[in-house]
Amino acid sequence: MTAQTIELESQLDAIRQEAQAAIADTETLDQLEQLRVKYLGKKGPIPQVLGGMGKLDPADRPRIGARANEVKEAIQGDLDRKRTALQSAQIQARLESEAIDVTMPGVFRPQGRVHPLNGTIDQVLDIFVGMGYTVAEGPEMETDYYNFEALNFLPDHPARDMQDTLYLPDGNLLRTHTSTVQIRYMENNDPPIRIAVPGRVYRRDTVDATHSAVFNQIEILAIDEGLTFTDLKGTIKVFLQEMFGDLPIRFRPSFFPFTEPSAEVDVKWKGRWLEILGCGMVDPNVLKAVGYDPEIYTGFAAGFGVERLAMVMHQIDDIRRLYSSDLRFLNQF
Ligand code: 2NL
């Protein structure tokens, strides 16, 4: 063996030792890959050493070749073991950071529920939808025409007074009933018509246990050829039966500018007559206002306050409880 051969062997051993130490110190897969390129790549130190083989005694060449392969395999083995170790450490760290502790107590989320006003609206609309009515809605800001004029309110009707109605600076107003939506619907549709209209309405009112300046109304309207007061009575009877059960009901004569004749309807509950709704046959002037011929078409309408209905049904003593968001109250429904 020549001195040159011994020199190359020791160079190869030095490469192996340096690589081993560097691999042992590596902490990431990226660094490890850089080391692979550095020690086993084409431009690495081993091909460089082998390049010097030309000067060797030919008899020694296989020995150096074999040694170079041993070193390559040893480095490759170190790289593989280190890669496996780094990968499993990575997986382990991820498992630990993403672990779910199934014994932790859950986050308490209170159960929500439907507000009694919305529950009442849903119940009423379900009944009318069951009788073939369509639900319609419309704007809360209205013109004098839709709120009063088209509904046959005379120019000096007290409801038009500043005392009773909330007017806006531009002369528009906040609707005092949802009949405005029915006028708009009739303008845009031909008979037969059957609609149920829920919505917020506004009156200039002093708030007390039974009054609110903002409240909810539902009105129904049916227009067709040959509708009579009997159809109105039957419809109201079915509605009240579904709402209250088989209690006695009575119709009392009343007046509304937009119906003729008009009636109020009471339900007898625990020996007392409770006023529930107003209704009537649509006034011919209202039909004319929307361009329907009152000689061909007749119709009936009814309306009631949702708050009052909810108060009767749930025996609520003060309308303000419906707006105060007091969970001790709301949790009862
Ligand atoms: C009540 C009574 C009522 C109507 C509303 C109505 C609508 C049109 C034509 C005719 Cl477009 N009538 N609606 C009819 C009778 C009574 O409401 O006491 N509301 C709180």
Q: pLDDT tens for residues 25-61?
A: 999 889 988 889 988 888 888 888 888 777 778 888 8
Q: Which residue among 201, 219, 251, 286 has the greatest number of ligand 1 atoms within 8 angstroms of its CB, and so is best to mutate? A: 219
Please give the distance, rounded to the nearest whole angstrom, from the Cα atom of residue 116 to the centre of ligand 1: 23
Question: Does residue 196 contact residue 128 with C-beta atoms inside 8 Å?
Answer: yes
Task: Report the nearest-CA residue for atom 3 of ligand 1.
Answer: 303
Q: Is the CB of 259 within 6 Å of ligand 1?
A: yes
Find the helix packing angle between 116-130 and 229-244, rounded to 10°: 130
Q: What is the pLDDT of residues 259-293, one digit of tens each?
A: 999 999 999 988 889 889 999 999 999 999 999 99
Q: How many CB atoms lie within 10 A of CB 69?
A: 12
Q: What angle do CA 122, 126, 130 make, to 5 degrees?
A: 170
Instruction: For residue 33, report the distance from its CA to the centre of ligand 1, in Å.
Output: 83
Q: What angle do CA 224, 227, 231 make, to 5 degrees?
A: 125
The mean predicted confidence, pLDDT, of the chain is 91
**CA R_g for the chain:** 44
How remote is the CA of residue 301 from the centroid of ligand 1, in Å? 6
Helix or strand holding residue 260 (H, E): strand 259-269
**For residue range 225-262, what is the model confidence (pLDDT) as tens digits?**
999 999 999 999 999 999 999 999 999 999 999 999 99
Residue ID of nearest Cα to ligand 1 atom 7? 179
Tell me which fold the domain 116-330 belongs to: BirA Bifunctional Protein; domain 2 (3.30.930)
The amino acid that residue 161 corresponds to is D
The domain ranges of the chain are: 3-97, 116-330
Name the 3-class secondary structure at 79: helix
In the 8-state DSSP scheme, what is residue 110? P
CA of 188 to the centre of ligand 1 (A): 19
Determine whether the annotation assigns residue 260 to a binding site: yes
With a 6 Å cutoff on the Cβ, whether 26 touches ligand 1 is: no
pLDDT band at 199 (very low <50, low <70, confident <90, very high): very high
Q: Supply the pTM of this predicted model.
A: 0.70
In short, whether 219's Cβ falls inside 6 Å of ligand 1 is yes
- Can you read off the two tokens belonging to residue 266? 């009471």
Torsion sign across C-alpha atoms 327, 329, 330, 333: positive
Cβ contacts of 145 within 8 Å, gap of 6 or more:
none
Ligand 1, atom 20, residue with closest C-alpha: 304
Listed in sequence order, the residues at least 6 apart from 139 whose beta carbon sits closer than 8 Å to its beta carbon are: 175, 180
Residue nearest to atom 4 of ligand 1 (CA): 302
